[in-house]
Amino acid sequence: MSRGVVTVGGGWAGCSAAVSAARALGRKGRSILLERTDMLLGLGLAGGIFRNNGRFTAAEECLQMGGGGRLFAVMDGAARHRNVDFPGHRHASLYDIVQIEPDVRAFLAAEGVEVVTQARVTGVERGGRTLRAVSFQGGRVAADAFVDATGSAGPPGNCIVHGRGCAMCALRCPSFGPRVGLAGLAGIGEWPATRPDGGLGSMSGSCDLLKESLEPPLRAELESKGLVVIPLPEGMHHEGDLDRKACQQYNLPEFGRNLVLLDTGTAKMMASFFALAELRRLPGMARARYEDPAAGGVANSVRFMAQVRHDAGLRVTGLANLFCAGEKSGPLVGHTEAVATGMLAGHNAARAALGAKALALPGSTVVGDLVACVTSAVRRGKLDERYTFAGAAFFDRMVRRGLYVTDVEAVSARVAGSGLRGVFDREVG
């Protein structure tokens, strides 16, 4: 009998989960991905930074393990710049946010993933400790196991109450409906993370400016180097806003005293918001215009409003066949972290569908250590830290434990020594 895994949410975590599920199921079943909007990647459409600091190590680990980890090869293929150093970060790669989505779609199709867009899930069918089916606009699909990769941002009310208003961001809630969590629909509790000022959630850490709106010399420098750092006049410093950022790896004082621009196809501005009138006073930016979020002069999306408890295999507590990935699994920051957790969640969902025991990754890998730390945090309700391979406390932990390396052969040897090389490429059973 054919088995199936349904992943809900088509961001980086959901795409990774769907690929890993397809590889693990092989000819035994179907991997279906349901996405609320008309495009994949969610906040990845306004992101673009990877391989910076410990994310280099994590990306290489994921490539060695296979499955959804192979999405890093897709990112590498869409990279506009490599080995970019900017404040607090080394050897970053920047993918083109316009090129990446069609590339990922093509990759998923080649992997046999069935993608359904404009499919906002609005209901579930539950029997005891298992989910049986999900319903969405225009359809219903039953499966043996599910992955909740619906993220933790939205609806707009959260951005209004806990932020500075709806930013009209890449998630496009007004057009496609607000995020609905699969775990929440199934009656599983979801918890918001806290921030240092006592508020809930965190703001996305960057905005995109139209490169065409920059003065030609500034645009040329950005496209040539991949990076421009513009010192801010004393009265424009934004250091007081840094603790609101989801991306705590980018809350260094340098990001409050300077305007940091990265070339991801647009001009990625490393600030949560910046008044347009002030922005246009800076050299080369007299005609600057926001692309995403459209209201980037005053607001940005609020994230980390809906985490769930889970075990080391990312199985959601309370349901036998529901797994979670990305921001749903904890206050994780970034595409790399989303792909890493999605890779494990999708594989274990396929294992559940086939009646096999779930896999837990050892702490000798950076991915396994991240999952262990996040699992502990959500179990204890300690949601005041942000977890990322690129900075803050977890990157410090990687350095202390000797897990941060940039030698690809060393990473390969570590993965092989753990018996995990190609583990997510294998058909289960």
Residue 246's pLDDT band (cuts 50, 70, 90): low
Contact criterion met (CB below 8 Å) for 20 and 67: yes
Of 42, 55, 39, the C-alpha closest to 301 is 42
What confidence category does residue 429 fall into, taking pLDDT thresholds of 50, 70 and 90?
Answer: confident
Is residue 360, in this structure, part of any structural domain at all?
yes
Q: How far apart are CA 246 and CA 250, in angstroms?
A: 9
Based on the fold, state whether residues 282 and 315 are members of the same structural domain: no
**Which H or E element spans position 175?**
helix 173-176
* 187 and 210 housed in the same domain: no
Single residue among 235, 259, 292 that ends a domain in this structure: 292
Q: How far is CA 186 from the centre of its chain?
A: 23
Residue 325 scores a pLDDT above 70: yes
Same domain, 95 and 227: no
How confident is the model over 29-49, as pLDDT tens digits? Answer: 999 999 999 999 999 999 999
Each residue's pLDDT tens digit, 390-418: 998 999 999 999 999 999 999 999 999 99
Q: Are residues 286 and 310 in the same domain?
A: no
Tens of pLDDT along 114-162?
Answer: 999 999 999 999 999 999 999 998 899 999 999 999 999 989 999 999 9
Instruction: Tell me, yes or no, whether 297 lies in a domain.
Output: no
Q: How large is the average pLDDT for residues 254-262? A: 91
Name the helix (H) or strand (E) containing 253. Answer: helix 253-257
CA dihedral sign, ordered 8, 14, 15, 20: negative
Same domain, 183 and 62: yes
Percent over 90 (pLDDT), the chain: 90
ω into 293 cis (within 30 of 0): yes
How far, in whole angstroms, is CA 50 from its chain's centroid?
A: 11
Per cent of the chain over pLDDT 70 is 97
- Find the CATH number of the domain harbouring 395: 3.50.50.60
3-state secondary structure 157-172: HHHHHHCCCCCCCCCC
355-377: pLDDT as tens digits: 999 999 999 999 999 999 999 99
Is the same domain home to 18 and 160? Answer: yes
* Judgement on whether residues 55 and 33 belong to the same structural domain of the protein: yes
Q: Is residue 191 part of a domain?
A: yes
Q: Distance between CA atoms of 201 and 302, rounded to whole angstroms?
A: 6
**Residue 252 — pLDDT band, cuts 50, 70, 90?**
confident
Residue at which a domain ends, from 292, 320, 347: 292
Residue found by looking up tokens 């570590």 in the block: 414
Q: What is the pLDDT of residue 349?
A: 98
Scanning the structure block, which residue is given the tokens 């579930």? 124
What mean pLDDT comes out for the span 56-84? 98
- Shared domain for 365 and 232, answered yes or no, is no
Question: Residues 51, 113: one domain?
Answer: yes
Examine the fold and report which residue of 270, 292, 314 is the final residue of a domain before the chain moves on: 292
Q: How many domains does the chain have?
A: 2
Same-domain status, 35 and 120: yes
Residues 6+ apart with CB under 8 A from 180: 36, 120, 121, 122, 150
Domain extent, residue 338, equals 3-198+302-425
Same domain, 133 and 162: yes
Least trusted range by pLDDT, from 27-31, 194-198, 299-303:
194-198
- Tokens representing residue 212 in the block: 């065409």
The answer to whether position 283 is within a domain reads: yes
Are 184 and 326 in a shared domain?
yes
- Using CA atoms, how far apart are residues 207 and 293, in angstroms rounded to an integer? 6
Q: Where are the beta strands (DSSP E) in 110-197?
A: 114-116, 121-127, 130-136, 139-142, 145-148
> Whole-angstrom Cα distance, residue 333 to residue 326?
8
